[in-house]
Amino acid sequence: MDHVANYPVLRKLGEGATSEVFLCNDPFRGREVAVKRIFPEALRDPVRGRLFRKLFFAEAALAGKLDHPHIAQIFDAAIGEDSGYIVMEYVPGGTMERYCVPENLLPVAQVLEIAFKSARALAFAHSKDVTHRDIKPGNILYAAEPTDVRIGDFGLAINLGSQTTQVTGVGSPAYMSPEQIRDEVVDHRTDLYSLGVVMYQMLSGHLPYRGTNKFSIMYQITQSEPPPPSTYRREVPPALDRIVRRAMQKDAASRYQSADALAEELIEALRAGAGEAPREDFGDADKFVALRSMRFFGAFADPELWEVVAMGAWERVSAGTAVVHEGENGDFFCVVIEGEMHVSKNKKLLSVLGAGECFGEMAYLSLSGHERSATVTAARDSHVLRVKVSELAKSSADCRSKFDRAFIGILVERLNLANTRLTSG
């Protein structure tokens, strides 16, 4: 096949029972995309054709609606009487399936980060009234490295805000929630159960329930309790056993009631030392949570904050080290993450900056370059986020707008403080 619609085919990526996926060139935007082509015979099937068409419409309807850095984007879609295709973001790395076997497990800290990002992505989808309903390792993809995740394949998703009837009895049996098994009406908490199963498998290398056929597995899902992941892997801490157990509660009311609540406990486990990650080695999840807690980033939506995580350099600054020097030209600004920075001019202390405060912002706000007006030095061992002006220029308009608002707010505060000092003197 040379083309799918207007998209030239580069190579075939794979196929399933009802569709095949090609790597294609997007001639309109000059990028590689994955194009899912529905088999005509699937749409014409007299028994299940209507179901396949309904599932296709469910996924195609999400085009442009779930714009999040950890959700595989849907760019375009079309369907006719006996043909249809969906154009999606191409995620080249693979899926989490390869990291679900005992001989190829990821470090516990990386599993935590993957679960955290997946939970935040689900929280975003749920905020749009979209429930995925088929969370499994094969639908969690990664790009350059395992922690660079994307949730894909929203073909079974339901929009809880719409009036359409749910399609029951769909999903991957090993990852289905008890309410899915019983063909009950589901909500976003079914995704949290399925993510709990994924965490269990990625931590232990085993599914929580195993049987000789799907009916045996389905019975166990509704009636049995699995051993904790630490049964198979001793380095899994008790805190993670508890998180997985709560996510997989058979009664939805006993689970986490939101993906954000699950994400919060995951990051607390990561901060508590699961995986023994050194503090100097901040993972993306740790960075995200640190920034989210700061007033400077209060107006940033999740997608914009993930952009900041990706564009910034997380740096440790030893006590006594100057980050910017008076009189030098600057092409970056910084936000203090931890510690204390002293701002001085002509060796006279002007101000003290703590976590969540920025310096060097005039390098971005000045149109013609900027000569530093002061020196900023670490008063004690600190961490700063360094952002190059050139990198910020590549970010989304929404992200730049939020930085503009934050910087203007800071300048106004500093002006008011200066006026107060003048009038009180």
Say how far apart CA 64 and CA 51 lie, in whole Å: 23
| H-only helix segments in 173-232 | 178-181, 189-204, 214-223
CA atoms of 339 and 280, how far apart (whole Å): 13
Active site residue 153: no
Query: What is the rounded distance in angstroms from the CA atom of residue 295 to the CA atom of residue 307?
Result: 17
Lay out the sheet containing 3-4: strands in order across.
Answer: 3-4, 7-15, 19-26, 31-38, 84-89, 74-79
Strand partners, 158: 131
At residue 236's C-alpha, the angle toward residues 233 and 240, to 5°, is 135
Using a 10 angstrom Cβ sphere, with 0-12 exposed, 13-18 middle and 19 or more buried, the burial of residue 188 is buried
The rounded distance, in Å, linking the Cα atoms of 318 and 288 is: 23
Tally of helices (H runs) and strands (E runs) in the chain? 13, 21
The catalytically annotated residue of 26, 67, 76, 134 is 134
Q: Which residue has the tokens 């002061």?
A: 374
The alpha carbon of residue 97 and the mean position of all alpha carbons in its chain are separated, in whole angstroms, by 18
Catalytic positions, please? 134
